[in-house]
Amino acid sequence: DGGITQSPKYLFRKEGQNVTLSCEQNLNHDAMYWYRQDPGQGLRLIYYSQIVNDFQKGDIAEGYSVSREKKESFPLTVTSAQKNPTAFYLCASRLGGAGNQPQHFGDGTRLSIL
């Protein structure tokens, strides 16, 4: 079955450490997105990519980096510059970048500070 796979499900980060969250999709979707969710708050866009080898900053990109070397993969690195990384991270994809296609979501990665 096609879908989006995020790994790991749980991740712990030490002070000063970079960590990378994986997101893979086999839906042949062009656009991919990373969101951060804090308790009681809506999803906030970190980065998005509408095509391979291209990506744009979202609303809260500081302290994060991404790459889009392959259509099916959009990894997110949480760098040591992100001082409050504890949150739930969701990856999503969409067939096209236009707004009339639904987003499909992964099951999320929960990141905590050690």
Partner 1 sequence: KNEVEQSPQNLTAQEGEFITINCSYSVGISALHWLQQHPGGGIVSLFMLSSGKKKHGRLIATINIQEKHSSLHITASHPRDSAVYICAVNPNAGKSTFGDGTTLTVKP
Chain contacts with partner 1 (rule: CB under 8 A): 33, 35, 40-45, 48, 50, 58, 88, 90, 92, 97-108, 110
- Residue 81 or 97 having the CB closest to partner 1: 97
Cβ nearer to partner 1, comparing 53 with 56: 56
Q: How far is the CB of 73 from partner 1 (least distance, A)?
A: 20
Q: Which residue has the tokens 């050690």?
A: 114
Write down the least CB distance from residue 89 to partner 1, Å: 10
Buried/exposed code over 2-18 (b: 16+ C-beta within 10 A; e: otherwise): eebebeeeebebeeeee
Please check whether residue 68 is in contact with residue 46, taking contact to mean a CB–CB distance below 8 angstroms: no
- Shortest distance, CB of residue 114 to partner 1, whole angstroms? 21
C-alpha closest to that of 60 among 40, 39, 38: 38
CB closer to partner 1 out of 75 and 108: 108
| Amino acid letter, residue 59 | D
Comparing CA positions, the residue from 110, 96, 94 lying closest to residue 19 is: 110
CB of 26 to partner 1, least distance (A): 17
